[in-house]
Chain A
Amino acid sequence: MNVSIPTPLRSYTAGQGEVLADGTSLEEMLVTLDRQYPGIRFRIITEQDTIRPHIRIFVNGEQAQHLAAPVRPDDHIHIVCALSGG
């Protein structure tokens, strides 16, 4: 599936704004993403497996609330950095 990477995380993806990842859930997708781009998962997911404040993950435009959310190969994932102030 395609995953859109926001600019604050592109230091992990060698500047790429769009990358490919696999998995049947958001959690699996993030594991494969982290395997390709080590360190990226911990910047957006806490050690308690929750999505960090100011980070939002959308699956085909619908906001995902937890990592167990299912995903399919033709889905489009958007990782978004919400407003966090100056």
Chain B
Amino acid sequence: MPRSRKATSPQPATGSVALLIGTRKGAFILRGDRTRRTWKLSAPMFLGQIVHHLVLDPRNRRTILLAARTGHLGPTVFRSTDFGKTWKEATKPPAFLKVPEGQQGRVVDHVFWLTPGHMSQPGTWYAGTSPQGLFHSNDGGVTWRPFSYINDDPRYREWMGTVQDGTPDGPKLHSILVDPCNPGHLYFAMSGGGVHESVDGGRTWETIVQGLEVVEGFDAATITFHDPHCVRLCPSNPDRLYQQNHCGIYRMDRSEGRWIRIGKNMPKNVGDIGFPMVLHPCDSDSAWVFPMDGSTVWPRVSPGGKPAAYVTRNGGKTWARQDKGFPRMNAWWTVKRQAMTADAHKPVGLYLGTTSGEVWASRTEGSTWVCIARHLPEIYSVEVAELGR
């Protein structure tokens, strides 16, 4: 790609905020007021179903898409056009192409990631699945089909590896990003399988892993070994990306074309391992991570049992700990890659959900935190729904 473009300057939101929460046992909506001080939890939706992700369509602020499966039943996508009051199932959920008799075809285990398309393309959605697949809908999520060629491309299939190479719940295609300035400029990431970019609407893809490390002893030139956990594109500067990777925290300015390990500037006793990556809506130098213990057998919990977010205000040169309000000790939290997010208010609100079923919020860009919901099932995802500007 790269070429420098004028950064957009989104205006801060002023309306009320809701959190869309996907859990291992259903979905919930946590509605806040305009001040983001009081929150009201909905009744469970799809109780008992595994909900990996639910996302509001920012193009109409009414439609929600929700990725579900159960322990027994196959994966599907549900769609609500009235902000969760009623739901209809996709008539053609994401599915790999059927292979000829005698060949081994792939089967979607679950839809893991949902991304609305560009603001100029109402009805367009993208989905990432486990095992890794990339899918597309152009009718608002009613029907889905494989997107681009990667699902069946021999080179991509090699990079995707097998179920044995993936995360415990299966290898994921995630972090599908759409450049707000260009609907044909797309990214996606695979755990494992690297980060990929298209500038022609998915007709061709380039792998962008330069500068990324892989697990010690393995060859970084082998794309399969790259494990991006969460990649984000700065809303205010689409030429800047941040990434929480299996091997650290990175930033890429597209003009440089190389990932820089900004996590090396994190405190050594905390490290730079984690899953979520959260960006400021208006300031491309500000970002948050939620470190986890990636030592020994990878406990994937808050280091030392002391939960904290870390913020950078200078593109990763320095980091500051943000733990005011969190338990001081004995809190062994895990926060999954889709379970931490930010709103678009000023100051920015931050939200995270733990696998132990608590939702925490900060109205002050992380300087103080409060628990706003507890006793939920294992939280898989938290997404902000801005209900007005």
Residues of A within 8 A of B (CB): 6, 8-9, 38-39, 42-50, 52, 54-55, 81-82, 84-85
B107 on interface, CB distance cutoff 8 Å:
yes
Q: Which of B72, B97, B98, B99 has the most CB of A within 10 A?
A: B72
A43 CA to B75 CA, complexed, in Å: 7
Q: Which of B74, B90, B95, B96 has the most CB of A within 10 A?
A: B74
> Can you pick out 14 interface pairs between chain A and chain B where the beta carbons lie within 8 Å of each other?
A6-B72, A8-B72, A8-B73, A39-B89, A43-B73, A44-B74, A47-B95, A47-B96, A47-B97, A47-B107, A49-B98, A52-B72, A54-B72, A55-B73
Which residue from chain B places its CB closest to the CB of A12 in the assembled complex? B89
Q: Which residues of B contact A47 (CB under 8 A)?
A: 95-98, 105, 107-108
B154 on interface, CB distance cutoff 8 Å:
no
Are A85 and B93 interface neighbours, CB within 8 A?
no
B76 on interface, CB distance cutoff 8 Å:
yes
Which residue from chain B places its CB closest to the CB of A53 in the assembled complex? B72
B265 on interface, CB distance cutoff 8 Å:
no
A38 CA to B90 CA, complexed, in Å: 10
Are A44 and B73 interface neighbours, CB within 8 A?
yes
Q: Which residues of B contact A38 (CB under 8 A)?
A: 89, 91
B67-109 Cβ-contact flags toward A at 8 Å (1 or 0): 0001111101000000000000111010111110000011110
Q: Which residues of B contact A82 (CB under 8 A)?
A: 72
Number of A-B contacts (CB under 8 A): 53
Which residue from chain A places its CB closest to the CB of B91 in the assembled complex? A38
Which residue from chain B places its CB closest to the CB of A81 in the assembled complex? B72
Are B76 and A42 interface neighbours, CB within 8 A?
yes
Q: Which of A46, A55, A81 has the most CB of B within 10 A?
A: A46
Which residue from chain A places its CB closest to the CB of B25 in the assembled complex? A86
Q: Which residues of A contact B107 (CB under 8 A)?
A: 46-48, 50
**B71 CB contact (under 8 Å) in A39, A49, A85:** A85
Q: Which of A6, A39, A44, A84 has the most CB of B within 10 A?
A: A39
Given contacts A38-B91, A39-B91, contact A48 B71 (CB under 8 A): no
A85 CA to B169 CA, complexed, in Å: 14
A76 CA to B74 CA, complexed, in Å: 24
Which residue from chain A places its CB closest to the CB of B94 in the assembled complex? A47
Are A9 and B73 interface neighbours, CB within 8 A?
yes
Which residue from chain B places its CB closest to the CB of A46 in the assembled complex? B107
| B163, chain A: closest CB distance, angstroms | 12
Q: Which residues of A contact B90 (CB under 8 A)?
A: 39
Q: Which residues of A contact B91 (CB under 8 A)?
A: 38-39
Are B72 and A42 interface neighbours, CB within 8 A?
no
Given contacts A47-B108, A50-B107, contact A55 B95 (CB under 8 A): no
A54 CA to B93 CA, complexed, in Å: 20
| A38, chain B: closest CB distance, angstroms | 6
| B23, chain A: closest CB distance, angstroms | 14
Q: Which residues of B contact A44 (CB under 8 A)?
A: 73-74
Which residue from chain A places its CB closest to the CB of B69 in the assembled complex? A43
Are B95 and A54 interface neighbours, CB within 8 A?
no
A10 CA to B106 CA, complexed, in Å: 27
A54 CA to B50 CA, complexed, in Å: 15
Q: Which residues of B contact A85 (CB under 8 A)?
A: 71
Are B71 and A54 interface neighbours, CB within 8 A?
yes
Which residue from chain B places its CB closest to the CB of A42 in the assembled complex? B74
A6 CA to B72 CA, complexed, in Å: 11
Q: Which residues of A contact B71 (CB under 8 A)?
A: 54, 84-85
| A31, chain B: closest CB distance, angstroms | 15
Which residue from chain B places its CB closest to the CB of A55 in the assembled complex? B72
Which residue from chain B places its CB closest to the CB of A82 in the assembled complex? B72
**B99 CB contact (under 8 Å) in A8, A48, A54, A84:** A48
**A42 CB contact (under 8 Å) in B93, B96, B98:** B93
**B76 CB contact (under 8 Å) in A39, A48, A54, A81:** A39
